[in-house]
Structure 1
Amino acid sequence: MPHWVSDAIWWQVHPLSFTGAERTALPPGEVRHRLPHLQRWLDHLLALGCNGLALGPVSASGTHGYDTVDHFRIDPRLGDDGDFDALVAAAHDRGIRVLLDGVFNHVGRDHPAFRAVVEQGPDAPTADWFRLHWPEDWTPGTAPGADVFEGHDLLVELDHSSPAVADLVTRVMTHWLDRGADGWRLDAAYAVPPSFWVRVLPAVRAAHPDAYVVGEVIHGDHPRIVAEGGLDSVTQYELWQAVWHGIAERNLFELAWSMQRHGEFLGSFVPWTFVGNHDVTRIASAVADPRHLPHALAVLLTVGGTPAVWSGDEHAFTGVKEHRAGGDDAVRPPFPPDPTGLSPLGAPTFALHQELIGLRRRHRWLHTAAPEQVHVANEQLVHAVAGEGQRLLVALNLADTTARVPAPGAGAVLAGSATVGRGGVELSAHGWAVLEAAPDRR
């Protein structure tokens, strides 16, 4: 993993929705210069405590960004190469790394490679890019059957056994790293054979050894995917699920179990951690009780991982993901032209993010710190993290009443609120705290 990632905390944005772009591609020749909108939010990112900008798709697409039609061109709804270069330069001037979203599992039906198949048939030079099913009575202009991504007919899956596809992805990744990007999030990496990345990443890393590569993985053998694919990391959906669901259901045994598995992951790689992103219900809505939003953030920012904050979560935006056309709209709203347009109602949550991110920055060793369970009950959880001769305790109470929980060695309260007593701490109803602790001498 590149050395700089140990200090990275990402602010994640879906550029098309963030900037209020049109839902579908512009007519040929038209361009809207919207990436400068994002540039005006870079100081907000820094004020939050982050130092990385994780962008959703910026390549030309037909609709939401994940139906790519040209990997080498900025989506005209966002701007052009000049706008991209200016954004990257402005970010780098502030010490901000830029991560791009690589949509390499599938393309849109309007991608020239698929259009060539429709027009030219089995003899098209790009026919081996896809897994196709030709009708016996095929005629030019008729689309053959094709494997698609998770039932989405507009997303035609690439054939990752094709050398031409490996060459395409290698060239795309290298092209945008050459232009200043610092790394890639590999969209739907769980659907791509790890062996494919073995054919792609060596050439990419030879040209850009400091690039960070994280795969989107929802389920499966995470350590194997990282090791066999040669990735730096994968997304930690298991922890995300346990955080919001364990809190919403007041079942912290679920969270404790997932944190134990998370600790096992940390033995082989450092996961990308989050409590919200462009594909899921916002954390302020998911936890059900707004008094428990701090509990989710306290977990995210005290366990090992490379954390990411979904844009808007730092101001307690709400929104429920729905599995229907337009079901992402609530979690991907357009943002004001600059941060002055945000409601002051979100200021306390912004300050809470600053507090916890600041705490993490003062304890850099948290990046690889595996959590150790100290106490678990349905509505209370205490875990410890340790590194570099230091130790912290994190205590959570979801109950409607005060709770006293064991916290051996607890000292000063660093965040939240608690009363420290001999061998334990007292938390108010719905309270939480991060505390200094004496090192475990066992």
Structure 2
Amino acid sequence: MTSAEHVIWWHVYPLGFVGADTTGADRTPATRLPDLIGWLDHLLELGANGLALGPVFDSSTHGYDTIDYFRVDPRLGTEDDLVALIDAAHARGIDVMLDGVFNHVGPDFPALRTARQNPASPEARLFEQDPDGALVAFEGHGGLITLNHGATEVADLVTEVMTYWCERGVDAWRLDAAYTVPIDFWSRVLPAVRERHPQVYVMGEVIHGDYAAFVQAGGMDAVTQYELWQGIWHAIADHNLHELDHALGRHNGFLETFVPYTFVGNHDVTRIASQVGDEHLDHALALLLTLGGTPSIYYGDEFGLRAVKEERAGGDDAIRPAFGSPGADPIQVPGARPEVLALHQELIGLRRRHAWLHTARSRTVAVGNDSITVEVTGTEADGEQSLIVCLNIGDDDVRTPAAQFLAGRRAGLDGGELVVGPHGWAVAGPAQDSSPSGG
């Protein structure tokens, strides 16, 4: 396991990526996981070194309705195929993360079928029940039944599952819907897993609430930073960068306790290119890759793909497309834009050269509806190195003192000032005097 400080994840939703049917209509076994091995070179060329996989365990439809935690979904292949993918990743210095769906199971989970047939069976203890004895569905999804996290048997099962796959090479876990599981459950399970695999990285999906308390009490390394995701795309889309400023203040507070898992796209949300538009896509990416955090790039975002999540059956399909084999050139993915890939590579390269950004704090130097200038500074242990990040989504120039131009668009140095033109952005080395003007 590479230190989290140096990991940039490439996040893939496997069933969609390999073109498997996710409706449940066609569960014909097929060996598709090897397709992902062909994409590992692309992952490295992007600048990433972590492969974050969505659900790979046997499930009825979309991967989040588990049938068997100890079996790879036959639509993807076999355990041997998954281990081969992990081994191929490790041979290239790539860490692998699995998606642990431990809040609920699907209707075909064998113990659930037994519990439904015989509510007095021992298996019934595995599932949460309401006061009338009815099984509890996850957030109203009738096909997903919530596990009883107060039962020792459930804690033992999850510990066994995580340990089993760690023993097969898994380096990290995403805990799906971790926010719905009692925190004391994780504080029982994770120490038992880490007793055998002390280096495993564990990140929980938490959408809202007290992130820091969740990490501290649950014993995780990180949680998903949805507040920052919202602050980035919504502030840009609404031309209200004060909202981003607020999110940055919150983000600084989290960094006092843990390093959040940061992203501008994932398998559950509308693609960032569709949220902010092509003109400001690089503004969002510049923030992701210069702010403190452990960044994740959702597959296809590095190509500038567009797609909208819809609240309907099959509404996730557009944001979970099939890529298949990379062939000779990954840029042949339909809709891929080479310039967006190049931008990702440039900004990831910049982050690699400034590894202290992992725990960096930000200070807003100036903010308006259409522009924001932020100084990003490393901790005292990092020598308090700093960068200036300036975003302009308006129609007037923005100027701020700077000493060195590092990256940007419609921007450059004018003597001792950084000038960022309309709808431009820049990352620069700081000047002694950091008071901006204009905009």
Q: Bin the TM-score by the shorter chain.
A: over 0.9
| Contact 1:252–1:376 under 8 Å retained in 2 | yes
Q: Partner of 1:292: helix, strand, or coil?
A: helix
Aligned partners of 2:392 and 2:398 also within 8 Å: no
Corresponding residue number in structure 1 for 2:127 = 130
> TM-score, normalising length from structure 2?
0.94
Flag the 1:425–1:92 CA change in 2: closer, same or farther, 3 A: same
Distance 1:316 1:103 in 2: 29
Secondary structure at the counterpart of residue 66 of structure 1: coil
Aligned match of 1:256: 245
What's 2:357 paired with?
A: 366
| Aligned 8 A contact 2:35 2:325 in 1 | yes
Match of 2:437?
none
- TM superposition shift of 1:265: 0.4
Q: CA deviation at 1:391?
A: 1.3
The equivalent of 2:403 in structure 1 is 411
1:47-126 matches, within 5 Å, as 47-122=45-120, 124-126=121-123
Q: How far apart are residue 113 of structure 1 and its match?
A: 1.2
CA shift, 1:398, in A, is 0.2
CA drift of 1:427 comes to: 1.3
Q: Give 2:301's aligned residue.
A: 313
- 1:396 lines up with 2:394 in the alignment: no
1:6 equivalent in structure 2: 5
Shift of 1:342: 2.0
- Equivalent residue letter for 1:404: V
Contact 1:391–1:439 under 8 Å retained in 2: no
Partner residue of 1:139?
none
Cα deviations across residues 247-273 of structure 1 (Å, max 9, x unaligned)?
A: 001100000110111011000000000
The residue number in structure 2 matching 1:214 is 203
CA-to-partner distance for each residue in 1:157-196, whole Å, 9 max, x for gaps? 0111010000000000000000000010000000011100
Aligned residues between the structures = 427
Decide which of 154, 161, 164 is 1:165's aligned counterpart: 154
Give the aligned residue type for 1:436. Answer: G
1:21 aligned residue: 20
2:69–2:161: 8 Å Cα contact kept in structure 1?
A: yes
| Residue 341 of structure 2, aligned match among 342, 350, 373 | 350
What displacement does 1:340 show? 5.5
Q: Name structure 2 gaps, 5 residues minimum.
A: 435-439
Pairing partner for 2:171 from 182, 185, 190: 182
Instruction: Give SS of 1:70's match.
Output: strand
Give the TM-score of the pair, scaled to structure 1.
0.93
Q: Which runs of 4+ in 1 moved over 6 A?
A: none
Aligned to 1:141: none
Identity of aligned residues (%): 55
Structure 1 counterpart of 2:429: 436
Q: Is the 8 A contact 1:26 1:77 kept in 2?
A: no
Structure 2 counterpart of 1:21, which letter? A
Backbone CA RMSD of aligned residues: 1.9
Change (3 A) 1:439 1:224: farther
Residue identity opposite 2:216 in structure 1: A
Deviations 1:203-238 (A, max 9, x none): 100110010000000000000000000000000000
Q: Contact 2:8–2:49 (CA<8 Å) still a contact in 1?
A: yes
Shift of 1:33: 0.3
Correspondence for 2:228:
239
Extract unaligned runs of 5+ from structure 1.
Answer: 136-143
Question: 1: distance between equivalents of 2:145 and 2:15?
Answer: 21
